């Protein structure tokens, strides 16, 4: 897994944070253009990267900064980020966002096809609460939901409206002495946990096997480590 590259599409990463490691060179994409400034000024991307590094320490983490002063971006910037990942040898694309705007469906579907053609996989939120999100609901995307009932090493298989999604705890890496209720939480960290699981399982997948089918089958074979909920 040492060659495996996970792109974190987020607010950047703080390379000096003690929980962060395995960083590779990344990129910043905004409406104004492209730069090498991947420093995190919001903290969210660093927390996501720290969790992935804790769970998949041998993987290289590539910061792709698409947020600037707020945790929001626009469709052209996100599509450019996905294109950058395809062109730069990314294996797992960890996306912490989604949209309810159905007008973006076709553009996302085209981008997802390009990711798959490159042999990569996109991991994104399937839903936030009751709201279904693009691109996570699309076929070919590993859609993730928050599931606080499973343990930290587990993923769950969740039958949903359009397809089966994968659940994981919505918590970042724990801070000693700080209750989880006072730390960050949300489906972004569920996505990070599933991305790390994929990284650990990468070599076990047959070339060309759809990731959603592979994950469902693998999780069903690991009843001790992973709970599969029907």
- Domain containing 149 — which CATH number? 3.40.50.200
pLDDT attached to residue 53 = 96
Flag whether pLDDT at 152 surpasses 70.
yes
How far apart CA 156 and CA 219 sit, in angstroms, is 8
Flag whether pLDDT at 195 surpasses 60.
yes
The mean pLDDT value for 198-204 works out to: 91
Q: What is the mean pLDDT of the chain?
A: 89
Flag whether pLDDT at 87 surpasses 80.
yes
How far apart CA 144 and CA 61 sit, in angstroms, is 20
Flag whether pLDDT at 154 surpasses 80.
no
pLDDT level of residue 221 (50, 70, 90 thresholds):
confident
Q: Residue 229 domain-assigned?
A: no
In the chain, which ranges are continuous DSSP H helix? 44-55, 75-87, 105-117, 187-201, 211-220
Range of the domain at 37: 5-220
Q: Residue 228 domain-assigned?
A: no
Flag whether pLDDT at 182 surpasses 80.
no
Contact 146, 186 (CB under 8 A): yes
Q: Residue 22 domain-assigned?
A: yes
The mean pLDDT value for 164-178 works out to: 87
Q: Residue 225 domain-assigned?
A: no
Q: Residue 105 domain-assigned?
A: yes
pLDDT attached to residue 227 = 35
Q: Residue 60 domain-assigned?
A: yes
pLDDT level of residue 1 (50, 70, 90 thresholds):
low
pLDDT attached to residue 153 = 64
Contact 31, 115 (CB under 8 A): no
pLDDT attached to residue 130 = 86
- Structural domain tally of the chain? 1
Q: Residue 70 domain-assigned?
A: yes
In this structure, are strands 156-159 and 164-168 parallel, antiparallel, or unpaired? antiparallel
What pLDDT, in 10s, does the model give residues 114-124? 999 999 999 99
Q: Residue 227 domain-assigned?
A: no
């Amino acid at each position: 897994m040492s060659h495996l590259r996970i792109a974190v599409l987020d607010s950047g990463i703080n390379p000096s944070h003690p929980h962060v490691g395995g960083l590779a060179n990344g990129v910043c994409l905004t409406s104004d253009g492209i730069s090498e400034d991947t420093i995190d000024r919001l903290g969210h991307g660093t927390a996501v990267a720290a969790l992935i590094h804790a769970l998949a320490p041998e993987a290289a983490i590539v910061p792709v900064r698409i947020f600037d002063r707020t945790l929001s971006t626009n469709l052209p910037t996100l599509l450019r980020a996905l294109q950058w990942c395809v062109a730069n040898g990314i294996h797992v694309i960890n996306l912490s966002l989604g949209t309810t705007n159905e007008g973006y469906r076709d553009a996302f579907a085209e981008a997802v096809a390009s990711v798959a053609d490159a042999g990569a996989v996109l991991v994104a939120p399937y839903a936030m609460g009751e709201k279904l999100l693009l691109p996570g609901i699309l076929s070919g995307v590993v859609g993730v939901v928050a599931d606080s009932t499973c343990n930290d090493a587990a993923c769950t298989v969740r039958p949903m409206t359009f397809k089966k999604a994968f659940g994981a705890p919505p918590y970042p890496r724990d801070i000693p002495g700080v209750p989880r209720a006072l730390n960050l939480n949300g489906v972004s960290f569920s996505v990070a946990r599933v991305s790390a699981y994929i990284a650990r399982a990468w070599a076990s997948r047959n070339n060309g096997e759809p990731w959603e089918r592979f994950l469902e089958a693998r999780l069903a074979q690991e009843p001790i480590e992973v709970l599969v909920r029907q």
